[in-house]
Structure 1
């Protein structure tokens, strides 16, 4: 194996820093002006790079948005895993993960919009399938752990995950657009009720 020289190592660090600066700039523009304002030229101007420099890292705006979408799913996964690690029991895990999901949407609105095709952002699902499936797997594991603790069958656990995710997405999205009376505080309470009601229904039915 050829040892990397200090000069080459420095170039690699610089390249990674450039790439991250591009991603950060795109997020900042989206957060303040919306995704419609994000162009490779605007990104280049913001970080004082030449326009061609952007294309050394991303072949198109679409490639840049795809990477930001993947970054969003990786960050969401980390938030869900942290919530799962903090909780005291399987039922609290599901509750805390639901709250973490909503908090992520509200804290990282620009990424959430990219991840879900909102505000005109359109990314092919294949571009972020691996990262998206990792998030779904985390939610599935939490529901399976709860079901095992409650003696509930999990023949249709994937449907249960989809039901929970779809409902939380609706609540989070409505709150983002200020369409829930009482704002995010009320939305968080609704998310908590969704979890409690669904778990209660599945407990009674003895299956998910």
Structure 2
């Protein structure tokens, strides 16, 4: 391995460590606890080293968001692949989506609530975002009928996001979570 390759590998490792540490800190203590000073201490690199990888906290949050989107895409794919029929696949991804949001609240917040410089809804969107959207679209396609699939997918995603956000904020009756998901599956799967 050349010196240049070793340096590039070390730089990529540092970047991964910073993102992983930011995500873990945010999951444990919330995004307010994530500062470049605190990250610098935790990863044992100076703040200038952090700034050589990221312009600031917003860029770190964006990196966590993209990583979270990749994890969400993999989670949705696994749920979809286990299903035996179209309605079962829709039911599986709605449950997987809600479980992901509940288990990874800081990553979910970075993905969909925090202001980040990530393009959504275009061909310039990060691959991880396009992959997550593709998983949703794949499951919703049998139910879209003559409707535009991307618009139908955006609506389905919006419903899931709304339920996840309202559930996290304890704004919905907790004993009706399953019935809400079943109703959403029934409404989306109507032709």
| TM bracket (short chain) | 0.7 to 0.9
CA RMSD of aligned residues (A): 2.2
CA shift for structure 1 position 188: 4.1
Distance in 2 of aligned mates of 1:125 and 1:58: 14
Residues matched between the structures, number:
187
Unmatched tracts of structure 1, length 5 or more: 204-208
| 1:99-127: CA deviation from partner (whole Å, max 9, x where unpaired) | 1111111111111101112xxx2113428
- Partner of 1:143 in structure 2? 140
Does residue 121 of structure 2 align to residue 124 of structure 1? no
CA shift for structure 1 position 64: 1.3
CA shift for structure 1 position 182: 2.2
Name the SS for the 1:174 alignment partner.
helix
Distance in 2 of aligned mates of 1:94 and 1:72: 21
Distance in 1 of aligned mates of 2:34 and 2:171: 26
Task: State the TM-score, normalized to the length of structure 1.
Answer: 0.80
Q: Pick from 173, 186, 189 the counterpart of residue 196 of structure 1.
A: 186
Unmatched tracts of structure 2, length 5 or more: none
Q: Pick from 145, 158, 161 the counterpart of residue 150 of structure 2.
A: 158
| 1:58-114: CA deviation from partner (whole Å, max 9, x where unpaired) | 122222111111111111111111111111112211110111111111111111101
| 1:137-161: CA deviation from partner (whole Å, max 9, x where unpaired) | 22112222x34xxxx7233322321
Aligned counterparts, 1:1-208, within 5 A: 4-5=1-2, 8-117=4-113, 121-126=114-119, 129-130=125-126, 131-144=128-141, 146-147=142-143, 153-182=145-174, 186-199=176-189, 202-203=190-191
Distance in 2 of aligned mates of 1:46 and 1:28: 11
Contact 1:164–1:195 (CA under 8 A) maintained in structure 2: no
Contact 2:23–2:107 (CA under 8 A) maintained in structure 1: yes
The structure-2 alpha-carbon separation of the partners of 1:115 and 1:188, relative to structure 1 and needing over 3 Å to count, comes to farther
The structure-2 alpha-carbon separation of the partners of 1:59 and 1:124, relative to structure 1 and needing over 3 Å to count, comes to closer
Contact 2:59–2:117 (CA under 8 A) maintained in structure 1: no
